Amino acid sequence: MTSRKEHALKRRDLAVNKLTSLGDRIIDDVAKQTVPAIRVPSRGTSNIVYDEDRRYYVLGDRYGQRSLGNVKQIKKIGQMVYMANFCKGLVQTGKTATLREMYYVSEGWDIDFGDQQESNIVGEDLEVTLGITREDLGLMPEEDGASVYGDITLKDDDVEINAMRMGKSGYTISPTIDEVELLDHNVERVIAVETMGMFHRMVQENAYKKFNTLIVGLKGQAARATRRFLKRVNEELGLPVYICNDGDPWGFHIAMVIISGSAKLAHVNHELATPNAKFLGVTASDIVNYDLPTDPLKDIDVLRLKELYKDPRYRDEFWKVEIKKMLKIGKKAEQQSFSKYGLEYVVDTYIPEKLDAL
Amino acid sequence: MTSRKEHALKRRDLAVNKLTSLGDRIIDDVAKQTVPAIRVPSRGTSNIVYDEDRRYYVLGDRYGQRSLGNVKQIKKIGQMVYMANFCKGLVQTGKTATLREMYYVSEGWDIDFGDQQESNIVGEDLEVTLGITREDLGLMPEEDGASVYGDITLKDDDVEINAMRMGKSGYTISPTIDEVELLDHNVERVIAVETMGMFHRMVQENAYKKFNTLIVGLKGQAARATRRFLKRVNEELGLPVYICNDGDPWGFHIAMVIISGSAKLAHVNHELATPNAKFLGVTASDIVNYDLPTDPLKDIDVLRLKELYKDPRYRDEFWKVEIKKMLKIGKKAEQQSFSKYGLEYVVDTYIPEKLDAL
Amino acid sequence: MEREASELFEEFKELTASEFFRRNKQMLGFSGKIRSLTMVFHELITNSFDAAEEAGIQPEISIDLKRVDKDHYILKHKDNGPGIPENYITKVYCTMFAGSKFRNIQSRGQQGLGCSGCVLLSQMTTGKPARVISGYKKGDEIKGVEMTFKMDVKTNKGLILNKKKVDVDSTGVAIELQFKDVSYSLSEQGAFEYIRRSMIANPHAKVTFRDPTGQLFIFHRATEIIPPLPKEVLPHPKGVTADDLIFMAKHTDKRRFRSLLTSSLSRMSTKRVNEIEEITKIDLNKRPKDMKWEEAEQIVELFAQMDFMAPPTSGLIPIGKEQIEKGIREILNPEFVATTTRKPKTYRGGVSFIIEAGIAYGGNSGRVVGDQKRSEIMRFANRVPLSFDQGSCALTEALKSIDWKRYGIRDIENTPITVFVNIVSTNVPYLSTGKQSVAPEDEILHEVRQATMKIARSLQKYLNAKRAAKEEEMRSKIFETYVPVILKEAAILSGRDVPEYEYILAKVTRRPKILDEIDKETLQELTNDDMVGDKDDE
Amino acid sequence: MEREASELFEEFKELTASEFFRRNKQMLGFSGKIRSLTMVFHELITNSFDAAEEAGIQPEISIDLKRVDKDHYILKHKDNGPGIPENYITKVYCTMFAGSKFRNIQSRGQQGLGCSGCVLLSQMTTGKPARVISGYKKGDEIKGVEMTFKMDVKTNKGLILNKKKVDVDSTGVAIELQFKDVSYSLSEQGAFEYIRRSMIANPHAKVTFRDPTGQLFIFHRATEIIPPLPKEVLPHPKGVTADDLIFMAKHTDKRRFRSLLTSSLSRMSTKRVNEIEEITKIDLNKRPKDMKWEEAEQIVELFAQMDFMAPPTSGLIPIGKEQIEKGIREILNPEFVATTTRKPKTYRGGVSFIIEAGIAYGGNSGRVVGDQKRSEIMRFANRVPLSFDQGSCALTEALKSIDWKRYGIRDIENTPITVFVNIVSTNVPYLSTGKQSVAPEDEILHEVRQATMKIARSLQKYLNAKRAAKEEEMRSKIFETYVPVILKEAAILSGRDVPEYEYILAKVTRRPKILDEIDKETLQELTNDDMVGDKDDE
């Protein structure tokens, strides 16, 4: 296994080459007296297909054009080339920037962006055209990833970090997680929870000791860095990943995006999806079996559940049953609702029972 | 100086005593054949006054009643007593819970809450009646505080933490910050920024070295734990605190709440406000002087600026001028807009110039 | 190719009123199948009511509507009024602009178009003649005559096809008409609802109705009191125009203008006439025909400046609040009802009117939409239901302008309420020929609002009292439940024993309600503060 | 206290039409000060237009409105029509339901109420007589007569006060009337706007108007073509009712029913009559008066099943698309105008009508509200502007139902557009007496939509072409600006020199437009995909 540093350098070289080739393609075309045009894989819904083998969404074969000869497309091709040069600079100097920063930098370009949204779309164009992630291009998301607590040791820029020795809120996964090396660990599994309330409950009730586990506080929809981290601990360290979320369509889907990737990011799901991760709860059956305090499903919840029911990622019998059951009982419940039986109940009783049942 | 651990134990004793006294008052009244009634300081706007000496908002002298003899109030008094018992249990066992968890626990009480909002209000009633913070009662916010990067060493539950050795995202301030000891540091100041985008920019450009500073990423409106942390580094360690936010009414006010406390939390501002903290930018003058990329003020921005203009916390000539100037130019700008001049500009040029000018 | 005038005027002709309306039947309200039938019911029912009351008889009507075919019906309508003398029958039913109600008197119909319009519609759609049996008193005898006749539109007169004497037991008119292109409907605009509303406003009447399915509805009298007969009222000086004066002067039999004034206008004394003479310097002893327009204008302008007593109101006979209540109770069987009859007022300076209003809550109040109850408005003019043109009507406008929330009714649309409004006047200002909506005169809007707000306050009191009773019951229960558990919990908190609390419990439970009210206010203040505090941004 | 019938019927009386409308002037459209004056303008102008055209004269009118006092005006209205023969003058102006237009003919007025209504209003509000000077041809001579007269409402006839022969140069009628309680206004419902709209629909007429401030407006002819005179059209079989047949039978001078049918109905041949006789077995040789209702009904039912040619349309004279365009250009001076005249259609089975429409964009189109331009609708029936009751009118309803976005007009309300619609028919189905709104017959709604959508497409093409021209200009500029900088940047990216790109630049700049269109579609698809992708939740 190459060290993370070497690995990172390799990725950088690859990115620089890909960016350069974009410029080459255009210059070559002009030299051949052909009007340059760039083929950009389509990210429309009709070109996003679920790959049964890989167990996540991938892009299909459809492409769109960005031609220098089209009055509407020429602007996009210009923005793409400017952005490629900017990213090349970032990768070569080992820096990163947010999309927002790039948007402001673009003020100095001859072809700028109408708004942030426009620059975000061209960013995705570049990602999908070159087949590498925005992180590899040096474009980092603003948001930090999840909090991690438990006995794992990481190495970031020569600093060794142990996620049990970082205070009660643990280690925060940074957007540059791909450059962090997973040095060592002393755990058997990873349990991710949806809210920081539950994260602190798990820490307080010593769940990391009881289950010999890492605790990951997702803070709602998991950031790209979090998903990358979970994939790496699962695949590089071979640790099983369990996800314990609120018992509602949103909780279900936060877990599912970690497991099977998102439709919107189909072009990078091979870097983000963790098909081996398991959903631990809260299920509709749990709501019934544990007699949990509930809220009634709202119209939007029902709508969302029906959407999920049709989504190929939920084709398992387990999901079919649970979604139908939730629609039938018409109720949802939060993880924290286990507090009805005392603060310790979720760690002392619920999670052990669920792990046993798997 | 007593150690943080002893300090924490003292605070716990105080909380238990205050909670017990609430029960005593009721039992005493009944014994005297008086209908028990509890005086709760009013948190209405008319009872929140700006204290010119202390430089933050405090509660005035007005009180409301919660009487056992009033059909509307008896429920509130009951909820308060139940909640007091729950908190007493938390404090005595050294545990914490979120308000959400308490809400679920209350399902088992004879007098429960109609909804989460109701339990939040009774929680504030208890805080203000007993004169201690919710953290002292063991009721923790869900949200984590800011991220901190830089050479400071903390001690949390016997674990020593250095905020420059925790990865690129640094140390996360946890809700239990009051139990964390500030062991050692090697910095001259603290610079807080509004967004994590700017936080990572500062880390990447080595601002912590250049200015010998802690970098704090506020993540928008500062959490209670963040405000407590800033107050402590300012008052316990004597470090000057600078706040560098977006140049709009929201950025202004995020800084002002750190400096002069919030109206809503007037009853705990003595624990949260850092009157010595300084606003570093972005100001309306900066927008003009640095010719920053801007967005036009929206109606709501204008409205908010006019509100701020009337707010006693903004009575300084500096603020009067800057607010009027922003209204006049009709524009606002983000911190990241300095990227127009290159990614390094904000650290290499802007902040040094601003620090010099102070 | 120019043509000269005489040639063009060869085609010049005159129409009769009947011919005119034959070409313009929508001007009589006959437009649309449902509306046409409702208008027929309206014309016949109001005529029967008016006739019976004028004769001092308690109205009783029986109506039988048979369906012959789709959109084809036979209508039999019979009343117990004074009947029509033989030689007036075709005038009533076949001559347009003929009638006995052109005086300044409060009555349901007024234009001399109603009955003849029904005959015209019948004839136009089916070609069938009308059949009438009239029983009427002549001296002590009751005479009976049966007639079939058509309308001759070219002459605006009746054409008798058949006539014979018949024996009748009592006075009254029975008419049989056939119609095509009309339709019976249960909707708000339909004939059945028209009858139902008529009964609310005419609780002294009895109506028996057999509908096309053969079902018999009997609407009983809710009261035995016959409303007093409205008197003819002379026009009020503030209500006449110069044209009216000239018109009177032209058609009077008085020999002097001064006696014309005193005899044709109300509130016009000799003293007043002398004053007028003195101020205007007009010789009022001259013959009415010699009165000039400018002089009439001068007099009318003076009227506007003089103070007169309000118009006599003997001409206005409201239904009366008790009678409205009876009508509403009979038909809607509500949980609560409040009614009011306002004092007479005038609009446009001199036309007097009275507004009556009623609110019914619960029971059969409101209209059913799907499986929900909605509020409904029932508008009346001189006891006649107004079924159409609700949108443009002043009565609706006034009701919609009321802030019902002030009367504790949060969502008036979805409350089981029926609001009843009746305008009583010798001269209801209709917006159009159809006589279905009232013009928005300021004084009328004001009176409708005042009347309705008054009874809305009564409804509010009722609803409040209902709520209060429920609350009082819950109150005791709350103390008995909460006091023991709170004291148990407080004891745990203080680490002491639960004290004796019987005395305290008794004290708070028996606490007079008035104290609670005060505390409620304190709490209210506190709660409001809290709310503001919560909303207050940091 | 019962009263007997004979006593009650002592008060029975008959009114004349004049008396009736004196009591109900709102039924003539005289309600509200502004509306009353507009109605007066309307009645006099349409009468003058109709008279002139019927006589084959190009209409020319001069109007002088003087303000005497607040709400008090003197109106002088003079036309160049054929004039009125002496002995018809009081009939025209003082007898209600009298007129020359009761035939089945397309004309502006139709009810025989207009002119006499104006005289009635004048008399009721001022007591002043009307003054008329009429010049008319008798043989080769032009006679002139001047008359002052009043209306005697009790008899529905004129009362001549003064009469003398006068010398006149030409034919035509000048009338002078005074009014009180009316008001001149520049609003959409006012008299001035009425004239302006009249001129758009009657570009062959000339009107000179002196307004109360003394300002003189001259509306010139936009065309010299006098519209052909509409012919009287016999009713179409599909449009008659049994009642109509019976009515005809009663008032015919034909001796046999079969000849009545062929002479009174259009499209009714002897062959058809024979068919009818054969199928119904009715003896059509019998005298018309012997025709029974049931037989008439049978015949009408058969009409409904038979195929007839559409009604003859010689009776319908549209303004014509060219003439509308001229009128619009003259009055609105627009940037763009499109007009259309549809083929005749029928509604209710047998009444034929034509819809004409126009759209004006830019210039003085639309109405000015504050400092913004809004769209406006101008409705006409037989060239007469409809000023009131816009809300309930079928023409408005049809226009509002059009999805203007489909024609590239995103916000129709705030676009400087005037939409013109004229319905031409011998029998416009008005919703009420005021003749201000058209009933929502399906066929009419359909035609208005079709007509308007057709010209809306022209407008769309115009707007698109305007945009395209602008875009084409920008297009070249874009390539010339972008190509060099993109290639410079691509060269930096690849680490190579900037290649020669003149050929490529020329190639893309000169690219035929049609290719762009196709690419636009491809891009559109791509962009849509992107959008869906973005919205798609994870």
Q: Who has greater pLDDT, D281 or C21?
A: D281
Indicate whether A82 and A110 sit together in one domain: yes
Q: What is the mean pLDDT of residues D226-231?
A: 80
CATH number of C237-305, picked from 1.10.8.50, 3.40.250.10, 3.90.660.10, 3.40.50.360? 1.10.8.50
Q: Report chain D residues whose CB lies below 8 A from the CB of A47.
A: 529
Evaluate if residue D286 carries a pLDDT over 80: yes
Q: Is A246 a known ligand-binding residue?
A: yes
Q: Which residues of D touch A27 (CB under 8 A)?
A: 487, 490-491, 494, 496, 499
**Looking at the structure, do residues B98 and B153 belong to the same domain, yes or no?**
no
Q: Is the dihedral of CA A96, A99, A101, A102 positive or negative?
A: positive
Average pLDDT over residues B15-30: 94
Q: What is the mean pLDDT of chain D?
A: 85
Q: Coil, helix or strand for B321?
A: helix
pLDDT at D526 over 60: no
Neighbouring-strand partners of residue C218: C208
> Based on the domain organization, do A274 and A350 belong to the same domain?
yes
Q: Return the C-alpha torsion angle A333, A336, A342, A343, nearest 10.
A: 170
- What's the pLDDT tens digit per position in B160-182? 999 999 989 999 998 889 889 99
Instruction: Indicate the pLDDT class of residue C519, thresholds 50, 70 and 90.
Output: very low
What does the pLDDT look like over A262-316, one tens digit per residue? 988 898 999 999 999 999 989 999 999 999 999 999 999 999 999 999 999 999 9
Query: Do B93 and B169 have their domain in common?
Result: no
pLDDT over 70, % of chain C: 90
- Tell me which of B16, B21, B26, B30 to substitute to probe the interface with C (most C C-beta atoms closer than 10 Å): B30
Return the structure tokens found at A193. Answer: 């929870």
Residue C144, pLDDT above cutoff 90: yes
Phi, psi values for residue C143, rounded to 5°: -100, 150
- Residue C521: the pLDDT is 41
Percent with pLDDT over 70 in chain B: 99
CA–CA distance, C367 with C390 (Å, rounded to integer)? 15
Q: Which residues numbered 414-433 in C keep a CB inside 8 Å of some CB on D?
A: 430-433
Mean pLDDT of B197-224: 94
Same domain flag for A353 and A217: yes
* D113 annotated as a binding-site residue: yes
Mean local confidence (pLDDT), C401-416: 90
Contact B146, B169 (CB under 8 A): no
Given A140, A156, A187, the domain boundary residue is A140
Is D523 an 8 Å CB contact of chain A? yes
What residues of B are annotated to the active site?
A: 104
Mean pLDDT of chain C: 85
Of A96, A101, A343, the CB nearest to B97: A343
C112 compared with A331, residue with greater pLDDT? A331
Residue A158 labelled as part of a binding site:
no
Q: Verify whether the Cβ–Cβ distance C97 to D16 is below 8 Å.
A: yes
Q: CB–CB of B263 and C538 under 8 A?
A: yes
Percent above pLDDT 90 for chain A: 75
DSSP code of residue B236: T
pLDDT at A338: 94
If one counts every other C-beta atom within 10 angstroms of the C-beta of residue C308, the result is 17
**Band of pLDDT at residue D104, cut at 50, 70 and 90:** low
3-state SS of A203-237 is: HHCCHHHHCCEEEEECCCCCCHHHHHHHHHHHHCC
Mean pLDDT of D122-150: 92
Check whether residue B221 and residue B306 sit in a common domain: yes
pLDDT bracket for residue C230 (50, 70, 90): confident
Among B29-43, C336-350, C423-437, the minimum mean pLDDT is found in C423-437
Residue B1 confidence (pLDDT): 46
State the Cα–Cα distance between residues D65 and D210, nearest whole angstrom: 6
Residue C460: strand, helix, or coil: helix
Q: Average the pLDDT over C525-534 and give the result.
A: 35
Do B157 and B72 lie in a common domain?
Answer: no
* Distance (Å) from the alpha carbon of A230 to chain B's nearest alpha carbon: 17
* Interface with chain B: mutation pick from A116, A140, A196, highest number of B CBs within 10 Å: A196
The confidence score (pLDDT) of residue D305 equals 85
Chains B and D touch (3+ CB pairs under 8 A): no
* A79 interface with D at CB cutoff 8 Å: no
Q: Which of B83, B114, B140 is the last residue of a domain?
A: B140
| Sequence ranges of the domains in chain D | 17-219, 237-305, 321-462, 473-535
Into how many domains does chain A fold? 2
Residue with tokens 């308490």: B102
Q: How much is the pLDDT for C534?
A: 33
How do residues A260-274 score in pLDDT, each as one tens digit? 999 888 989 999 999
Q: Are residues B231 and B347 in the same domain?
A: yes
Beta bridge mates, C399: none
The domain covering C17-219 belongs, at the CATH homologous superfamily level, to Histidine kinase-like ATPase, C-terminal domain (3.30.565.10)
**Does pLDDT of D12 surpass 90?**
no
Query: In chain B, what percentage of residues exceed pLDDT 90?
Result: 74
User: Pairing between strand B139-140 and B189-193?
Assistant: unpaired
Q: pLDDT per residue over A109-145, tens digit each?
A: 988 888 888 999 999 999 999 989 999 999 998 888 8
Query: Does the structure show a pLDDT above 60 at C530?
Result: no
CA dist., res. D12 & res. D169, Å (int): 51
pLDDT at A90 over 70: yes
CA distance B167 to A183: 13
- pLDDT at A36 (0 to 100): 93
B92 and B185 fall within a common domain: no
pLDDT of residue D521: 42
Q: CATH no. for residue A248?
A: 3.40.1360.10
- Asked if the C-beta of D483 comes within 8 angstroms of chain A's C-beta atoms, the answer is yes
3-state secondary structure of C79: strand
Q: Which domain holds residue B179?
A: 147-357
Domain edge (last residue) among B91, B115, B140: B140
Q: Which of D472, D476, D486 to mutate to test the interface with A (most CBs of A within 10 A)?
A: D486
Chain segment B136-154, per-residue pLDDT in tens: 999 998 888 899 999 999 9
CA distances from A333 to A292, A293, B21, B101 (A): 7, 6, 36, 13
DSSP code for D350: T
- State whether B129 and B15 are in the same domain: yes
Residue C524 has pLDDT above 70, yes or no: no
Q: Look up residue C490 and give its amino acid.
A: A
Q: Does D250 touch chain C (CB under 8 A)?
A: yes
Contact check, Cβ <8 Å, D297/C251: no
C34: part of which helix (H) or strand (E)?
Answer: helix C33-54
Q: What is the pLDDT of residues D159-183, one digit of tens each?
A: 999 999 999 999 999 999 999 989 9
**Would you say residue D422 has pLDDT above 70?**
yes
pLDDT of amino acid C520: 44
Q: For C321-462, CATH number? A: 3.30.230.10
Whether D267 shows a pLDDT value over 90: the answer reads no
pLDDT number for residue D537:
39
The predicted structure's pLDDT at residue D351: 81
Does residue B71 share a domain with residue B164?
Answer: no
Residues 6+ apart with CB under 8 A from C187: C34, C193
**Closest Cβ–Cβ partner in D51, D102, D103 for C15:** D102
Chains touching A (at least 3 CB pairs under 8 A) are: B, D
**Interface membership of D463 toward C (CB under 8 Å):** no
Spell out which residues of chain C touch residue D112, defining contact as CB-CB under 8 Å: 14-15, 20
Which chain B positions have a beta carbon within 8 Å of C485's beta carbon? 78, 110-111
Q: Are residues B92 and B170 in the same domain?
A: no
More confident residue, A10 or A211: A211
Mean pLDDT of chain A: 92
What percent of chain D has a predicted confidence (pLDDT) above 90? 39
Put simply, the answer to whether A165 touches B159 (Cβ < 8 Å) is yes
Q: Confirm if C222 and C327 have CB atoms less than 8 A apart.
A: yes
Least confident of C471-485, C524-538, D180-194, D269-283: C524-538
Question: Which CATH number does the domain housing residue B102 bear?
Answer: 1.10.10.10
Three-point CA angle D279, D280, D286, nearest 5°: 125
- By C-alpha distance, which of C85, C74, C80 is closest to C62? C80
